[in-house]
Homo-oligomer: A and B are copies of this chain.
Amino acid sequence: MDSSLLFLLFTLFTTTIPTAEPKSNSYPISFPRSYHPSLIQTKEPRPNLPFKTHFFPQILDHFTFLPQSYSIFYQKYLINSDYWDNGPIHRAPIFVYTGNEGDIEWFAANTGFMLEIAPKFHALLVFIEHRFYGESKPFGKDSYNSADTLGYLNSQQALADYAVLIRSLKQNLSAEASPVVVFGGSYGGMLAAWFRLKYPHIAIGALASSAPILQFEDIIPWTSFYDAVSKDYKDSEGTMSHELCFLQDASLNCFDVIKGSWDELETLSARSQALVALSRTFRTCKNLQSVYLATNWLWRAFVYTAMVNYPMQANFIMPLPAYPVEQMCKIIDGFPPEASKLTKVFSAASLYYNFSGTEKCFNIENATDAHGLSGWEWQACTEMVMPMSRSNESMFPPSTFDYKAFGEQCMGKYGIQPRPHWIITEFGGTRIEQVLKRFGSNIIFSNGMKDPWSRGSVLRNISSTIVALVTEKGAHHVDLRYSTKEDPDWLIEQRRKEVEIIQRWIDEYHAGFEENN
């Protein structure tokens, strides 16, 4: 395996994935590509969200005073004030979602938790879109053209946007005395945690769900992410249906089939007419032009499904049944042993791409097309350098992350070198328990261990007020989703604790307010 053959899989983050060793030059040395959530989410009409849309005139560059820094762009934000009670006595809170790398409506639709708890707190809800995503593009359709425009896209500018917008909003609403709590999931969770750390005078606390703020440099093992994905497939027996239990190690079978499929793909790719055969097996709409595309297609299905292995039917990235990893393994284990591994993994991946059953063929070519430059790809090439390797024990082909190769690719693409040490310099992370034991307060790091990103987050209490809420069976920010009738007890309990803690922050704030007035 050649670790320089990377491409970036868009998840909520970008992960690096090698392809099978290329046997020809039929596809270029692959380069970071990513898949914007707005492009991969289903085309279904968005739920009719109970928010009003606003646009805030935001400054382009908070951290320089060059003439061009003062350019204004319009930053989108959503507001729900149905439950807000901002009487002079009540000083009801403002709950702000620190938007991540996508359309803000998408995050609003998948963060029902905030809407559900708003009545209890009489809270105002604000969802702020991240600069350079959705409709908040500083240079309109030219925003992704080059480093000259993308250069303004990064997390520190985004945090400053939130600070400026929140201060202005509070002033306009005469709500200076209302406490602000920030919420976020995934990258949005990282932003929420960092916002509390960097702007404690603006937010009294943060709920950072599935926020891998430690997925940088050498803080956690580089293999953690793919090891965690693999573990999900290995452990899938836990919820296997009884009729399959006669198969010994049903789950190990699932893991073994997936692990073995890459070799089978590679073998196939060496055969003449391989792509035609593969196109047939994978029911592609057009003939595949490279094995790499099929690899990518499978890979994405397995990684994403691990992330969204929710205990209920859901539609975050794609519509999926409850416990989709187990369902995938059920499909794989249901085949007779002699069936080809590729047939098995294709069927499993079909669950991810076609749970609704409406796809007659799969548009694999398009799925891996670069849909223009996307914002996260840029962030991954500049500040969000999350080194990921794959160990021999994972179900993916082994490889080692290589800073140099990565830098060369980013240089080739954008003419810009990554700053791989910048995030930790700016936000910290090394020895975080020691650093934050006596510094900072009021952060919840919530994680579910089924989510491979959990390994890069904070999984233990740091202090009495910087706490970890970890569930064994949770997936990617499942706690932020709307509640459902199928919610398991552990999820209900996790959310209950979150509400309890947030209530404490607000009570303490009010007590302090009285004290100081």
Contacts and interface: CB of A to CB of B under 8 A. Distances in A.
Contacts of A272: none
A428 B65 contact: no
A509 to B, nearest CB: 8
A338 interface: no
Nearest to A156: B63
A70 B516 contact: no
A434 interface: yes
A54 interface: no
Contacts of A151: 64-67, 69
A241 B283 CA distance: 101
Given A421-B167, A429-B201, A63 B157 contact: yes
Interface string A318-343: 00000000000000000000000000
Contacts of A383: 65
A437 interface: yes
A201 B435 contact: yes
Interface in A144-165: 147-148, 150-154, 156-157, 160, 163-164
A442 interface: yes
A25 interface: no
Contact of A67 (B147, B152, B419, B433): B147
A517 to B, nearest CB: 9
Contacts of A512: 434, 437-438
A375 B472 CA distance: 55
Given A64-B152, A508-B438, A164 B431 contact: no
A425 B163 contact: yes
A64 B65 contact: no
A157 B201 CA distance: 20
A473 interface: no
A26 to B, nearest CB: 33
A259 interface: no
A147 B63 contact: no
A164 B433 CA distance: 21
A447 interface: no
Interface string A445-488: 00000000000000000000100000000000000000000000
B437 A440 contact: no
A310 to B, nearest CB: 34
Interface in A403-434: 415-417, 419, 421-422, 424-434
B63 A64 contact: yes
A147 B64 CA distance: 10
B417 A70 contact: yes
Contacts of A62: 63, 156, 422, 426
Interface residues of A, number: 63
A428 B508 contact: no
A175 interface: no
Given A164-B425, A436-B200, A67 B465 contact: no
A148 to B, nearest CB: 6
Contacts of A113: none
B438 A441 contact: yes
Contacts of A150: 65
A237 interface: no
A199 interface: yes
A300 interface: no
Contacts of A429: 201
Point out which of A436, A437, A438, A512 has the most chain B C-beta atoms below 10 A from its C-beta. A438
Nearest to A415: B67
In this complex, which of A61, A63, A153, A160 has the most chain B Cβ atoms within 10 angstroms of its Cβ?
A63
Contacts of A436: 200
Interface string A476-517: 000000000000000000000000000000001100110110
A440 B442 contact: no
B428 A201 contact: yes
Contacts of A422: 62
Given A422-B62, A426-B160, A433-B516, A200 B67 contact: no
Contacts of A439: 200, 439-442
A382 interface: yes
A373 to B, nearest CB: 13
Contacts of A435: 200-201
A416 B64 CA distance: 11
A434 B513 contact: yes
Contacts of A160: 425-426
Given A62-B156, A66-B151, A440-B440, 12 more contacts: A63-B63, A64-B151, A65-B150, A65-B383, A65-B419, A66-B147, A66-B152, A67-B151, A67-B415, A434-B509, A437-B512, A438-B441
Interface of A: 61-67, 69-70, 147-148, 150-154, 156-157, 160, 163-164, 167, 197-202, 378, 382-383, 415-417, 419, 421-422, 424-442, 465, 508-509, 512-513, 515-516
